[in-house]
Structure formats: C-alpha cells, structure tokens
Structure 1
Amino acid sequence: MTEVMLVWDNPLLFEKLFTEHGIKCQRIVSDSIGTPFTPPCKCVVIPTGFANKAYTSILPGIERNAKSFEKFVKAGGNLVVFSPAVPEYDFKWLPMELEYKQEYQVTHICKEKEHEAQCLIEDTCSEIEFDGYFTKTDGEVIFRSDEGNPLMVVKELGEGRIIATTIHEFPSGKFLKWINETAKKSKL
C-alpha cells in the first residue's frame, strides 16, 4: 500500500527521504489527481517549487483539482504543501486562505504555540532557511520568523489537515512518520 503520494513530474531527491524512513512513497503527476488510477494514500506532499515553471509543470493539474484535495483532506488525509518558489502566490486551489511572498532568509524560528507538526524541524534552536512567508492565512500559525512572518501553518479540515510551510529544508524523519501515522487512508 502506498502511504505517501509525492506530486511531481520527474524524479527528485525528496523520494529517497521517505524510503530511508520506511515509508512507501509513490510519485504521481498532477494530471492523475482525481482519476480512478490513483490509489488511496494517507498523505499527499507537494514539494518546493511547484508553481515555478523552471522546476516543474505540475501547477495546472494541481489548480484543476481543488475539489479532489478538499475531499482527500476532509476524509482524513494529510496534505503537506511547501513553497511555490515564485515572487508571489495565492493558493486559491486550497480550501483555506493562504497567500505567499518570496523572500529568502536564514533565521531562528519562533514557535507561535505548541503543535505536533513542529517536529518538521529537528532542532528548533538552530537557524533555518526559508524562501518566503505567508502574507495572509486563516490557518493556525505554528512557526514565525524573527520578524514575525508566518513560516508554517496548519488548517484542520474534516478529519484531516493541511500543513503549509515555507521552510526550505528537508523535513525530519519524525515529521514524515507523524504525517503518515496521524492520517487516514483516503482517495485523492
């Protein structure tokens, strides 16, 4: 059984990270979202750069499938979305308010409040890289930059959740296991 679907159109290093932690991961192209050929999974991950045409061409398929993402999350799936890596972006396809501004920095992160998803970063006392921040959100802000800009938000929806972050580092093994263990198998 596939546990995690990684939405991308060519091989990337991110896939190896799941394998290293014993999590079954399958890469899918965005055009297969919402089709009968996509098997159920617990978690969908959209990597950094999904909106940047220099990296990938998955954006049109993602934007076309807003209802599939909403249905997946409401049924208990976890949707993890990283930065779009473009100057500004409005996540209109997500069932939440979320807007992004690109601005690469290295900073200490500040916990807004305690949340299990903060295990994304192994050492929250060290400096981290981020490639932007959220300018608007109706999600729960769980990490901010030194300047107070939201870097990670969580939105509970139905039985699942949407986790969005601009942190530009590989997630910890603990985070990968958490997103998998806290989700229900759902059809995308």
Structure 2
Amino acid sequence: MIRKGGLAWDCATPFKRYIEDCGVQCELITPQMMAAPYYRGKMVSMIIPTGFGNLAYSSLLPALRASSKRIEKFLKNGGNLLVFGAMSPKPDAYDWMPVPVTYVNEYFSTPVVVDPHNPHARIMDDFDLSSIECDGYFSEFCGEVLATTDDGRAIMISNEIGKGTLLVASLHEYPSRGFISGFSSGETETLF
C-alpha cells in the first residue's frame, strides 16, 4: 500500500508535518511547481488548505487556475483531491475546479450533521460534532452532501471525477489522522 500525498502551499507549514505524522509521505507543492509544465509529481492525494483563495495568505489561486486541466486529469486518472475553504469573499475562488461550487465566507462554530454511511465522513472522527469550526459554507454546488450545519448549510461535498474523488470542505480544522491516512493510501500513485 502506498501512502503519499501532496500539500499545495507557498512554503513549509505545520500542516505538512501533521500529514507526515499520520504516516503519509508528503510533498510540498508550491504555486511555481504546480503551474510549471515540467513538474510531474506522483501521489495518491493532494490537499489544498484553507486560505488558498485569499491573496493575503497565499499566491496559490493563480496557480490553481493555470493548472485546472492538470487537476481534472489527476482526478480522472484516480487521484484524490481535498480542497478546504478559500477564506475569500470572492465568488469565483473555486472556478478552477471541474465542478461548479459557490462558497460563502463566514467564520462560525456549529453543530454538524454527518452522513455516517460515507467513508469520507471520517474526516471529522477527531472532532466534537456538537461544535465544529467552519470558515464558510457552500450555497451552490454539484455533488453529494456529506456534512451540513444543524440548520442545513452544506459544509462538505463530494464528487467522483473519473476514477478519483474530489472533496470540498469548509472545516476550519485539520482532518482526522485516520482520514488523512486512508485518503492518501492506494495501490498506485497518480501523475499530476
């Protein structure tokens, strides 16, 4: 079993160390690497952390837009992609993804209702579901809802794209250790 993931961000971050502590080999993928035609990373999963759409935090969004076809190909060929909240009020922060998503940036704590039958709901295994920190919700989207606030706002959605899985979440917490390990494990790596 291969346990390998990529973390898309501008520089080293404690999130990379957290992923490695989950037993997953993790490669930092900078915006320059992501948009470069010669970059050919191989991995089971890629994670795009909270704040990717806010230029005050990161310069990742232009690279994501420039790499949108590569991202779609990564998914279709079997890669797993986890995308967190953009932390931006701009409605086009997700325009690089292969499915439409409209995100509303709003920081809040809420009780959460999870689909217990979906294995990706393990993302919240380490949380107290009566009070989860979120940085927004999804007002329009395509896909299956995996988690909502207690008043029905979608905070995690899933899409199967070809052989891969796209998860979009507005959780403002690290994913559970078991989720990271499972989401980043597979029999083969996928070329990005």
The answer to whether TM tops 0.5 is: yes
Which residue number corresponds to residue 24 of structure 2? Answer: 23
Offset of residue 56 of structure 1: 1.0
Which residue number corresponds to residue 118 of structure 1? Answer: 121
Q: Does the 8 Å CA contact 1:88/1:99 hold for their aligned counterparts?
A: no
- Structure 1 position 131 matched with structure 2 position 132: no
**Secondary structure at 1:80's aligned position in 2?**
strand
Q: Does the 8 Å CA contact 1:77/1:183 hold for their aligned counterparts?
A: no
Look up the equivalent residue of 2:66 and give its one-letter code.
Answer: R
**CA pair 113-174 structure 1, distance change in 2 beyond 3 A:** closer
Q: What is the alpha-carbon distance in structure 2 between the residues aligned to residue 10 and residue 136 of structure 1?
A: 31
Offset of residue 93 of structure 1: 0.9
**CA pair 147-77 structure 1, distance change in 2 beyond 3 A:** same
Q: What is the alpha-carbon distance in structure 2 between the residues aligned to residue 78 and residue 54 of structure 1?
A: 27
Per-residue CA deviation, residues 110-135 of structure 1 (Å, 9 max, x unaligned), is 12462111111124533110010001
Bigger mean CA offset, 127-136 vs 103-112 = 103-112
Which of residues 153, 160, 168 is equivalent to 1:156?
Answer: 160
Unaligned runs of 5+ in 1: none
Offset of residue 140 of structure 1: 0.6
**Secondary structure at 1:89's aligned position in 2?**
coil
Q: Does the 8 Å CA contact 1:49/1:84 hold for their aligned counterparts?
A: yes
Written as runs of structure 1 = structure 2, the 5 A alignment for 1:34-49 is 35-49=37-51
Which of residues 65, 68, 73 is equivalent to 1:66?
Answer: 68
**CA pair 96-182 structure 1, distance change in 2 beyond 3 A:** farther
Look up the equivalent residue of 2:61 and give its one-letter code.
Answer: L
Unaligned runs of 5+ in 2: none
Q: What is the alpha-carbon distance in structure 2 between the residues aligned to residue 183 and residue 171 of structure 1?
A: 22
**CA pair 112-21 structure 1, distance change in 2 beyond 3 A:** closer
TM-score by length of 1: 0.93
Q: Does the 8 Å CA contact 1:114/1:142 hold for their aligned counterparts?
A: no
Bigger mean CA offset, 2-11 vs 14-23 = 2-11
Per-residue CA deviation, residues 115-159 of structure 1 (Å, 9 max, x unaligned), is 111111124533110010001111111100112110000100110
Offset of residue 82 of structure 1: 0.4
Offset of residue 183 of structure 1: 7.3
Bigger mean CA offset, 174-183 vs 16-25 = 174-183
RMSD of aligned alpha carbons: 1.7
Structure 1: 4+ residue segments shifted above 6 A: none
